[in-house]
Amino acid sequence: MKYTVEQFKTDLEQPYAWPGGYPRYFITADGAALSYKAAEDNQTLIIDAIDSNCNDGWQIVGCEINWEDAELYCDHIGDRIESAYADS
């Protein structure tokens, strides 16, 4: 199932999964991890890429929970993406 603009907008409003409050992040078509800050700051580019099916580095294909990766960093701004269970 293709990730849609509507899903992106809904996911952007919920940086933590419910129930549980687990931290989430976005995944691009080329496998990059994007933090919520990067997605918020670039939502116009992301929406355009999803809409036009353009694999320009901004096309998001999903939103996932970072369960245990203490070394997961945003590929755009370099901030560490919070994990649910790994030590920081």
Low-confidence ranges of the chain (pLDDT < 70): 88
Count of domains in the chain?
A: 1
Q: 46-53: which pairs have CB atoms within 8 A and are 24 or more residues apart?
A: 46/8, 47/5, 47/8, 47/9, 50/3, 50/4, 50/5, 50/8, 51/5
Per-residue pLDDT, 88: 57
* Domain enclosing residue 59, as ranges: 1-88
Per-residue pLDDT, 87: 72
Q: How many whole angstroms separate alpha carbon 33 and alpha carbon 64?
A: 10
Q: How many whole angstroms separate alpha carbon 14 and alpha carbon 6?
A: 13
